[in-house]
């Protein structure tokens, strides 16, 4: 898969997408990187720790989040994207489900659109991604956690996301998918997703897993957001075992070590 000027060999390695939230109300690090200098320092830290893609978000999408205006979101993310692209050589993903924000972010230098609604929220998103010839990550989501056959319904939902992308003319090597742990699912369903990660490989696209510090881990281990790193590492190891191409995480260094160790074992002849 190609993102920006970089090729990713997702069949043989799991890459790291580092999270940079410029939101005052992010569930994990709200307000921490809003200051420009702090955000740039954190970017440098993540890159030196082995981050392969930087995912920048301007609106928290945690359950019950407060939706902000497109203008506010653009104001938060575009200066940071411009600065990152000017100072660092790293592909940048914009975490948004709004085409207007995505367009401004791409013009500021973003190489990929990470859409938590998998092109199902904003009908202009898929044509925009095609127009600018950037990559996309399409995540599974639903308004309510109501399913007939959960894993099968999820599979079909993701297939619909792919069909939306293909109908807009987006090439296969520009698409990755995300099963959407924590979105439109109950606690038990999130565990089921983790148990059946393999199933979504059958769609034929690189897969991204985003579980870092999420409530599934907090509820399982009865731990606050600040103490969910070990639980996150377990899910990262499972992603590597299932051949996922990317993990989206807060703590780059520890997850990189976990990936390296897991791959060393799996790659033994």
Residues 6+ apart with CB under 8 A from 234: none
- Confirm whether 86 is a catalytic residue: no
Contact criterion met (CB below 8 Å) for 15 and 246: yes
CB atoms within 10 A of CB 148: 6
Structure tokens at 267: 């790659």
- Confirm whether 130 is a catalytic residue: no
> For residue 173, what is the DSSP state?
G
CA distance 247 to 259: 10
Contact criterion met (CB below 8 Å) for 228 and 217: yes
Helix, coil or strand: residue 161:
helix
Supply φ then ψ for residue 72, to 5 degrees: -65, -40
Residue among 248, 257, 260, 268 flagged as catalytic: 248
Residue among 76, 214, 228, 256 flagged as catalytic: 214
User: From the CA atom positions of the chain, what is the Rg in Å?
Assistant: 17
Name the residues annotated as catalytic.
Answer: 214, 248
């Amino acid at each position: 898969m190609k993102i920006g000027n970089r090729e990713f060999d997702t069949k043989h390695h799991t890459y790291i997408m580092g999270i940079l939230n410029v939101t005052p109300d992010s569930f994990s690090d709200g307000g921490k990187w809003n200051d420009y200098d702090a955000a740039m320092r954190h970017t440098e830290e993540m890159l030196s720790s082995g981050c392969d893609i930087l995912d920048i978000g301007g609106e928290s999408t945690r359950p019950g989040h407060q939706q902000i205006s497109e203008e506010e979101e653009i104001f938060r993310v575009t200066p940071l994207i411009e600065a990152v692209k000017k100072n660092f050589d790293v592909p940048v993903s914009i975490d948004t489900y709004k085409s207007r924000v995505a367009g401004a972010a791409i013009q500021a230098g973003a190489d990929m659109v990470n859409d938590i609604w998998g092109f199902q929220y904003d009908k202009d998103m898929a044509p925009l991604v095609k127009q600018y010839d950037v990559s996309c990550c399409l995540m599974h989501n639903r308004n309510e956690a109501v399913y007939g056959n959960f894993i099968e319904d999820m599979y079909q939902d993701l297939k619909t996301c792919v069909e939306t992308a293909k109908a807009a003319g987006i090439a296969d090597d520009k698409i990755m998918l995300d099963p959407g742990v924590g979105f439109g699912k109950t606690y038990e369903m999130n565990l089921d997703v983790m148990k059946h990660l393999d199933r979504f490989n059958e769609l034929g696209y690189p897969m991204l897993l985003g579980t870092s510090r999420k409530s599934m881990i907090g509820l399982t281990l009865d731990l606050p957001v600040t103490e969910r790193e070990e639980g996150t590492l377990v899910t990262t190891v499972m992603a590597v075992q299932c051949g996922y191409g990317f993990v989206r995480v807060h703590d780059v260094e520890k997850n990189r070590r976990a990936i390296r160790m897991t791959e060393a074992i799996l790659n033994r002849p």
